[in-house]
Chains A and B, each alone.
Chain A
Amino acid sequence: MAEEETVEAEEKDLIEILEPSSGPIDLTRYVDYVRDPAAGAIATFEGTTRDTFEGKRVVELRYEAYVPMATRRLAAVCAEARAAWPVLRVAVAHRLGTVGVGEASVFVAASAVHRAEAMEACRYVIDEVKASVPIWKKEVYENGEVWKENREFLERREAAVGPAQERKKAACCCGSKVRVDEESTGGMI
């Protein structure tokens, strides 16, 4: 997994899961990729990392992925966007490893003849990233850390598998996944 996983699924889609050593996302690379003389619009979405969560200061975020499956899912998502809207080109990149607060963790660009299609396709891709692409983010606080959970994933899972209560014996879904040094929480969590 030393090198970037790059797939050009349908030759007009650029999909990159960026390894930790890659540094900040080169946004221009993806915008330029979707630039097309036939396009009247390029829509982009940049997801950036926040500095606070429920009042806790976020020190950094760490991303990991099931890289081969994430790459496949992203290719499928781009194909779905292409099937739903007349887009010209789509590019999506997601960083792995430590991402500093305020930096871009994910970037999507889509071009189309008209802006509505470009914006719809761009939104579809980022919404699907949140719901179905196997990438995980751990938020690191000054006094603990937690694996985040996307609401979009949980909602879709519930629709597919049924309510969580159907699977018995499970412990409370929160609480235990949060690891915080007790002595330093000051009642914040």
Chain B
Amino acid sequence: MTEEPKDTCDVIGSQKTNPSQDKDLAPYIKIKVLFFARARDLTGSTEICLEMPDGSTARDCMSKLLIEFPNLQEIYNSMVLALNEEYAPESTILKDKDELAIIPPISGG
């Protein structure tokens, strides 16, 4: 599941403007997003990198993911988020290099 080296995952979210230009204007943070189980099936990815404006929340990140992967809407009503391996509310403010995981309904046991 984690064969890819950390800094080579696909970056999405910097298409709108020239990223280098953008970075001069406002600081950007890079977030690693992990998809498990049904979320991985829906997105076709195990992980991606997302560039977000500094000060973004997990909710902002989720909004961007729903645009990028509309299929995720299917589990949005039942999933939760984890930030750096701990459950986190959508209001949490993200930091550079944070790891955000989409946690579809778990089914261990």
Interface residues of chain A, those whose CB is within 8 Å of chain B, are 1, 47, 63-66, 68-70, 72, 94, 105-106, 126, 129-138, 147-150, 153-154, 157, 160-161, 164, 167, 169-171, 173, 176-177
Contact = CB atoms under 8 A, between A and B. Distances in A.
B108 A129 contact: yes
A154 B109 CA distance: 15
Given A64-B37, A177-B38, A135 B108 contact: yes
B109 A157 contact: no
A165 to B, nearest CB: 8
A86 to B, nearest CB: 25
Contacts, number: 106
Contacts of A129: 108-109
A157 B103 CA distance: 11
Given A134-B82, A147-B38, A177-B38, A153 B106 contact: yes
Interface residues of B, number: 27
A48 B75 CA distance: 27
B109 A150 contact: yes
Given A1-B2, A69-B86, A154 B78 contact: yes
Contact of A133 (B89, B105, B106): B106
B71 to A, nearest CB: 9
B76 A68 contact: no
28 contacts: A1-B2, A66-B34, A94-B108, A94-B109, A106-B108, A130-B108, A132-B106, A133-B108, A134-B108, A135-B106, A136-B36, A136-B38, A136-B107, A137-B108, A137-B109, A148-B107, A149-B78, A149-B107, A150-B105, A150-B107, A150-B109, A153-B106, A154-B105, A157-B80, A160-B80, A169-B76, A173-B77, A177-B75
